Amino acid sequence: MVSRFDQQKTKHQLFHVSLSLATILICMTYMQYRRNWAYLGNFWDSLVVPIVFIGELLKVVLARFYGRIEDGVLTIKQRQKKAAYFTARELAGGFTLQFLCTLLYAFICIILGAPVLGNYEETFVLSLLMTLLTVSPTVFLLGGGGALQVCFCEKPDFVTKCEDTALNLFKYNALGGILGAWAGSVVAPLDWGRDWQVYPIPNIIGALLGSAMGNIYACTHVLYATARVYMTKKRA
């Protein structure tokens, strides 16, 4: 049985995925436009981080937009959660969580071989990007405490259906980003002598491409599911 809700869900998923892909496409276009990639590691000079930030924000707005339909059928806990979204406590918690996460990523970068002394700016930009791709969307959607719960619990009870859809997609995005950034290092030891082999660039591009891959994977999943529903319906 395919209900109206599910159609909404599919639409939401598809919009979400296309938003992420568009974000990455814009990043790529921007990089193509700038030609020289050496600036990618600079915080003030590169627009990649702001673009990704805006993209993630838009995704959260999208989730809110689709979420308004379910407003009527929320449980008390979900209602409480929603009401507490803009309190100072939640905002501070979310910010702290993201900051800690950035630090964690920076630490991981360093233990995976980034220079301990020096290249701070590059490491910071990379870890900021990783945070934006992995933790930030969840924090934007649910606030700091909520994000922690989602990360560490199997099924928190305050998550609405629509948020759940978004969270699922965020997961693909995050996994793709992490794997991509990790695998990006593969070009670092090669002796091609290109200027884009310098430390953060392959990882940043890897993260972006990886999250694109994750999204494409998610997209095929959604399309496959819809196609199957469509086929069974037709047969019936």
Partner 1 sequence: MNVIYLLVLIWLALLICSGVLLFSRGFLLARVSKTETSTCRRLSTNHNDEYMLTPEVVNEIFKDVNASSNLCLPQKSKVIILVVDALKYEFGLYKSNITEPLPYENKLSVLQELLERSPDQSRLMRFKADPPTTTLQRLKGLTTGSLPTFIDIGSNFASPEINEDNVIDQIVKSDLPLVFLGDSTWTDLYPRRFKRAYSYPSFDIFDLDSVDNQIMKHLPKELASDDWQVLIAHFLGVDHCGHKHGPLHEEMARKLTEINEIVSSVVNAMDNETTLLVMGDHGMTASGDHGGDTDDETNALLFAYSKQSKFFGSDSGSDNETLQQIDLVPTLAAILGVPIPYSNLGLINFNIVPDVPVPHLSKFQILLLHAWQNAQQIYRYFFKYAMENRRTFDVQEMDKLETEFILLTHRVQTIYNGVAYKSFVRDLNASLRDVLSTCREIWVKFEPTQMSQGLLFCFLPIFFAFLLINNSRPADYSNMFKPKGIFYTYLLNLAAGVFGYRYYKNFSFKSEEHGVIFFTAITSTVILAFYTLQHWTSIASNWANVKRFGHMPTRLLLFSIMAVFFSNSFVIQEAKILSYLLVAVFLLFSYELLQQSVRFDFRNKFRASQFLRSTALRLILASILAICFIRFAYTLFRCREEQGNCTDFATSNTSGFSIKKPGTGKTYILAVVIIVIYTTLTRLYLRSCGNLTGSSPNVLLARYGPTVATICAGGHVLLANSSIKNIQRTHIDAMALVIYGLLLLQIIVLSLAPLMTFVLPKRNPNIVTVNRNDSIVPEIFKKMKRMYEGDDAERHTEIPIVYGLATVYSSITITFGVFLAMTMIVLLEPRAAIGLVVCVAISAILLSVQGILRYRTATSFESCVQPTFMAVVGWFLLAHFCFFATSHQTTLSQIDWRAAFVGRTSGIGQSNIISGALVILNTFCGPIFFFCMYALLSTETFSLFALFPNLIRSFSNSCRSGSKTDAAVAMSDIANEAVGFDMTRGELTLYEYEDVFLGAGFKLATQFFMLQGLKIFCAMLACTIHCRHLMVWKIFAPRFIYEALATFVSLPALIVGYVLLLRINRAVDDLIKRINKAKTQ
Residues that bind partner 1 (CB under 8 A): 108, 110-113, 116, 148-149, 151-157, 182, 185-186, 188-191, 193
List, as one string, the DSSP characters of 98-115: HHHHHHHHHHHHHHTT--
Nearer to partner 1, 10 or 197 (CB): 197
Whole-number minimum distance, CB 125 to partner 1, in Å? 20
**For tokens 């002598």, what's the residue?**
193
Nearer to partner 1, 61 or 112 (CB): 112
Whole-number minimum distance, CB 163 to partner 1, in Å? 17
Q: Using CA atoms, how far apart are residues 134 and 169, in angstroms rounded to an integer?
A: 11
Residue 153 tokens read as 């619990």
Those residues whose C-beta lies under 8 Å from the C-beta of residue 108, and which sit 6 or more positions away, are: 127
| Residue 46 burial by Cβ neighbours in a 10 Å radius (0-12, 13-18, 19+) | buried
Whole-number minimum distance, CB 146 to partner 1, in Å? 10
Provide the residue count of the chain.
236
HSE, CB side, 13 Å, CA atoms: give it for residue 143: 19
SS3 47: coil
Whole-number minimum distance, CB 141 to partner 1, in Å? 17
Nearer to partner 1, 108 or 198 (CB): 108
Whole-number minimum distance, CB 54 to partner 1, in Å? 29
Nearer to partner 1, 8 or 197 (CB): 197
Nearer to partner 1, 69 or 151 (CB): 151
